[in-house]
Protein backbone atom coordinates (compact mmCIF):
# COMPACT_ATOMS: atom_id res chain seq x y z
CA UNK A 1 0.00 0.00 0.00
CA UNK A 2 1.26 3.44 -0.80
CA UNK A 3 0.89 6.62 1.22
CA UNK A 4 -1.94 7.93 -0.98
CA UNK A 5 -3.98 4.77 -0.42
CA UNK A 6 -3.41 4.99 3.33
CA UNK A 7 -4.47 8.64 3.27
CA UNK A 8 -7.66 7.80 1.37
CA UNK A 9 -8.55 4.98 3.76
CA UNK A 10 -7.94 7.11 6.83
CA UNK A 11 -9.94 10.00 5.40
CA UNK A 12 -12.86 7.68 4.66
CA UNK A 13 -12.56 6.15 8.12
CA UNK A 14 -13.34 9.55 9.66
CA UNK A 15 -16.65 9.37 7.76
CA UNK A 16 -17.28 5.72 8.57
CA UNK A 17 -16.44 5.51 12.25
CA UNK A 18 -19.37 7.66 13.48
CA UNK A 19 -21.66 5.18 11.67
CA UNK A 20 -19.78 2.11 12.90
CA UNK A 21 -22.89 0.28 14.09
CA UNK A 22 -24.62 0.82 10.74
CA UNK A 23 -21.55 -0.22 8.75
CA UNK A 24 -21.21 -3.39 10.82
CA UNK A 25 -24.89 -4.24 10.34
CA UNK A 26 -24.60 -3.65 6.60
CA UNK A 27 -21.53 -5.88 6.49
CA UNK A 28 -23.07 -8.81 8.37
CA UNK A 29 -26.37 -8.59 6.51
CA UNK A 30 -24.51 -8.71 3.19
CA UNK A 31 -22.17 -11.47 4.39
CA UNK A 32 -25.08 -13.72 5.36
CA UNK A 33 -26.91 -12.86 2.15
CA UNK A 34 -23.87 -13.91 0.12
CA UNK A 35 -23.27 -17.07 2.13
CA UNK A 36 -26.02 -18.08 4.58
CA UNK A 37 -23.87 -21.03 5.70
CA UNK A 38 -21.63 -18.54 7.51
CA UNK A 39 -24.35 -17.49 9.96
CA UNK A 40 -23.88 -20.48 12.31
CA UNK A 41 -20.21 -19.54 12.77
CA UNK A 42 -21.38 -16.48 14.72
CA UNK A 43 -22.64 -17.90 17.99
CA UNK A 44 -22.62 -14.65 19.96
CA UNK A 45 -24.55 -11.40 19.76
CA UNK A 46 -24.03 -10.07 16.25
CA UNK A 47 -24.20 -6.46 17.44
CA UNK A 48 -21.31 -7.10 19.84
CA UNK A 49 -19.48 -8.90 17.04
CA UNK A 50 -19.98 -5.82 14.87
CA UNK A 51 -18.46 -3.63 17.56
CA UNK A 52 -15.41 -5.91 17.65
CA UNK A 53 -15.14 -5.80 13.86
CA UNK A 54 -15.22 -2.03 13.76
CA UNK A 55 -12.71 -1.75 16.60
CA UNK A 56 -10.32 -4.07 14.78
CA UNK A 57 -10.80 -2.13 11.56
CA UNK A 58 -10.06 1.09 13.41
CA UNK A 59 -6.82 -0.32 14.80
CA UNK A 60 -5.87 -1.59 11.36
CA UNK A 61 -6.59 1.75 9.71
CA UNK A 62 -4.43 3.48 12.29
CA UNK A 63 -1.62 0.98 11.72
CA UNK A 64 -1.53 0.74 7.93
CA UNK A 65 1.83 2.52 7.82
CA UNK A 66 3.29 0.34 10.58
CA UNK A 67 1.78 -3.10 10.02
CA UNK A 68 4.63 -4.82 11.81
CA UNK A 69 3.14 -3.58 15.08
CA UNK A 70 -0.13 -5.42 14.52
CA UNK A 71 1.16 -8.54 12.73
CA UNK A 72 1.10 -10.71 15.88
CA UNK A 73 -2.51 -9.69 16.60
CA UNK A 74 -3.54 -10.38 12.99
CA UNK A 75 -1.84 -13.77 13.06
CA UNK A 76 -3.60 -14.64 16.30
CA UNK A 77 -6.90 -13.51 14.81
CA UNK A 78 -6.32 -15.73 11.77
CA UNK A 79 -5.60 -18.74 13.96
CA UNK A 80 -8.70 -18.10 16.07
CA UNK A 81 -10.85 -17.75 12.96
CA UNK A 82 -9.57 -21.11 11.73
CA UNK A 83 -10.56 -22.61 15.09
CA UNK A 84 -14.05 -21.15 14.64
CA UNK A 85 -14.40 -22.91 11.30
CA UNK A 86 -13.51 -20.10 8.92
CA UNK A 87 -12.06 -21.57 5.74
CA UNK A 88 -9.72 -19.94 3.28
CA UNK A 89 -12.58 -19.51 0.80
CA UNK A 90 -14.58 -17.46 3.29
CA UNK A 91 -12.07 -14.61 3.11
CA UNK A 92 -13.18 -13.72 -0.41
CA UNK A 93 -16.82 -13.51 0.67
CA UNK A 94 -15.85 -11.35 3.65
CA UNK A 95 -13.91 -9.01 1.35
CA UNK A 96 -16.86 -8.64 -0.99
CA UNK A 97 -19.24 -7.94 1.90
CA UNK A 98 -16.85 -5.43 3.46
CA UNK A 99 -16.34 -3.44 0.28
CA UNK A 100 -20.09 -3.50 -0.37
CA UNK A 101 -20.84 -2.17 3.13
CA UNK A 102 -18.25 0.58 2.79
CA UNK A 103 -19.60 1.57 -0.61
CA UNK A 104 -23.18 1.50 0.62
CA UNK A 105 -22.34 3.74 3.57
CA UNK A 106 -20.09 6.19 1.72
CA UNK A 107 -22.12 6.43 -1.47
CA UNK A 108 -20.48 8.57 -4.15
CA UNK A 109 -17.52 9.24 -1.84
CA UNK A 110 -16.53 5.60 -2.45
CA UNK A 111 -14.54 6.37 -5.57
CA UNK A 112 -12.76 3.75 -7.67
CA UNK A 113 -9.48 4.88 -6.06
CA UNK A 114 -10.92 4.44 -2.58
CA UNK A 115 -12.34 1.04 -3.48
CA UNK A 116 -8.93 -0.04 -4.73
CA UNK A 117 -7.25 1.26 -1.57
CA UNK A 118 -9.68 -0.54 0.75
CA UNK A 119 -9.41 -3.67 -1.37
CA UNK A 120 -5.64 -3.61 -1.11
CA UNK A 121 -5.82 -3.04 2.64
CA UNK A 122 -8.19 -5.97 3.04
CA UNK A 123 -6.01 -8.26 0.91
CA UNK A 124 -2.97 -7.32 2.96
CA UNK A 125 -4.61 -7.84 6.35
CA UNK A 126 -6.52 -10.96 5.33
CA UNK A 127 -3.36 -12.36 3.76
CA UNK A 128 -1.61 -12.29 7.14
CA UNK A 129 -4.59 -13.94 8.80
CA UNK A 130 -4.89 -16.61 6.11
CA UNK A 131 -1.21 -17.49 6.27
CA UNK A 132 -1.37 -17.90 10.06
CA UNK A 133 -4.43 -20.14 9.72
CA UNK A 134 -2.71 -22.29 7.09
CA UNK A 135 0.39 -22.64 9.25
CA UNK A 136 -1.72 -23.64 12.25
CA UNK A 137 -3.58 -26.27 10.25
CA UNK A 138 -0.32 -27.67 8.89
CA UNK A 139 1.18 -28.00 12.37
Which pLDDT band, with edges at 50, 70 and 90, does 8 fall under? very high
What pLDDT is recorded for position 20? 97
Could you state, in order of their start, the residue ranges of all structural domains in the chain? Answer: 3-138
Q: What is the CATH number of domain 3-138?
A: 1.10.490.10
Long-range pairs for 16-23: beta carbons < 8 A, 24 or more residues apart = 16/102, 16/105, 16/106, 17/54, 17/58, 19/105, 20/50, 20/51, 20/54, 21/47, 21/50, 21/51, 21/54, 22/105, 23/54, 23/101, 23/102, 23/105
Q: For residue 43, name the pLDDT band (cuts at 50, 70, 90).
A: confident
Q: Tell me the percentage of the chain whose pLDDT exceeds 90.
A: 85
Give the pTM: 0.93
The band of 113, judged by pLDDT with boundaries at 50, 70 and 90, is very high
Amino acid sequence: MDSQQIYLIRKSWTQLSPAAETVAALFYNKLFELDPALRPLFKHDIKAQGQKLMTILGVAVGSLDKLEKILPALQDLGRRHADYGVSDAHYQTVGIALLWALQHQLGTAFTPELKQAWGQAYLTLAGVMREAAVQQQAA
